[in-house]
A and B are shown apart, each in its own frame.
Chain A
Amino acid sequence: MAANPSEIETLVQNRKYAAGFITDIESDSVPPGLSEDVVRLISARKQEPEWLLEFRLKAYRRWLTMREPRWAHVQYPKIDYQAISYYSAPKSMKDAPKSLDDVDPKLIETYNKLGIPLREQEMLAGVVPDRPQVAVDVVFDSVSVGTTFKKKLAEAGVIFCSISEAVREHPALVKQYLGTVVPFADNFYASLNSAVFTDGSFVFVPRGVRCPMELSTYFRINERNTGQFERTLIICEDDAHVSYLEGCTAPQRDENQLHAAVVELVALDRAEIKYSTVQNWYPGDENGVGGIYNFVTKRGDCRGVASKISWTQVETGSAVTWKYPSCILRGDDSVGEFYSVALTHHRQQADTGTKMIHLGRNTKSTIVSKGISAGHGQQAYRGLVRVGEKAEGARNHTQCDSLLIGSNCGAHTFPYTEVRNPTAIVEHEATTSKIGEDQLFYCRSRGIGEEDAVSMIVNGFCKDVFKELPMEFAVEAQKLLQVSLEGAVG
Chain B
Amino acid sequence: MTKLLEIENLHARIGDNEILKGLDLSVGAGEIHAIMGPNGAGKSTLSKVLAGAEDYVVTSGTIRYQGQDIAEQSAEQRAAHGIFMGFQYPVEIPGVSNMMFLKAAVNAQRKERGEPEMAANDFLAWVRHRVKQMKMDPAMLSRGVNQGFSGGEKKRNEILQMLVLEPKLMVLDETDSGLDIDALKIVSDGINAMRSPERATILVTHYQRLLDYVQPDFVHVLAAGRIVKSGGPELARELEEKGYGWLQAA
Contact = CB atoms under 8 A, between A and B. Distances in A.
Does A pair with B?
yes
Interface in A414-456: 436-439, 441-450, 452, 456
B19 interface: no
A439 B89 CA distance: 11
A463 interface: yes
Given A444-B52, A445-B75, A447-B79, A460 B95 contact: yes
B108 A449 contact: yes
B58 to A, nearest CB: 16
B79 A438 contact: no
Contact of A4 (B55, B108, B109): B55
B76 A448 contact: yes
Contacts of A450: 76
B124 interface: no
B96 A446 contact: no
A459 interface: yes
A463 B105 contact: no
A456 B87 contact: no
B26 interface: no
Interface string B102-128: 001110110010000000000000000
Nearest to B89: A438
Contacts of B78: 445
B201 interface: no
Contact of B79 (A445, A456, A459): A445
B75 A441 contact: yes
B79 A442 contact: no
B96 A459 contact: yes
Contacts, number: 85
Interface residues of B, number: 34
Given A437-B55, A441-B75, A446-B79, A464 B165 contact: no
A447 B80 contact: yes
Interface in B145-186: 161, 165
A442 B105 contact: no
A210 to B, nearest CB: 30
Contacts of A4: 54-55
In order of increasing CB-CB distance, the 9 nearest A-B pairs are A460-B95, A460-B96, A447-B79, A447-B109, A463-B95, A444-B75, A446-B105, A447-B108, A442-B91
Nearest to B90: A442
B14 interface: yes
Given A2-B14, A439-B93, A464-B95, A445 B54 contact: no
Nearest to B56: A1
Given A438-B91, A452-B104, 7 more contacts: A2-B55, A441-B51, A446-B108, A446-B161, A446-B165, A460-B94, A461-B95
A450 B76 CA distance: 9
Contacts of B54: 4, 7, 441
B101 interface: yes
B22 interface: no
Nearest to B113: A447
B144 interface: yes
B197 interface: no
Most chain A CB inside 10 Å of its own CB: which residue of B55, B93, B95, B104: B95
Contacts of A443: 93, 101, 105
Nearest to A460: B95
A462 interface: yes
A461 B94 contact: yes
B74 interface: yes
A307 B94 CA distance: 33
A442 B87 contact: yes
A457 interface: yes
B53 interface: yes
5 contacts: A444-B79, A445-B53, A446-B105, A452-B108, A460-B144
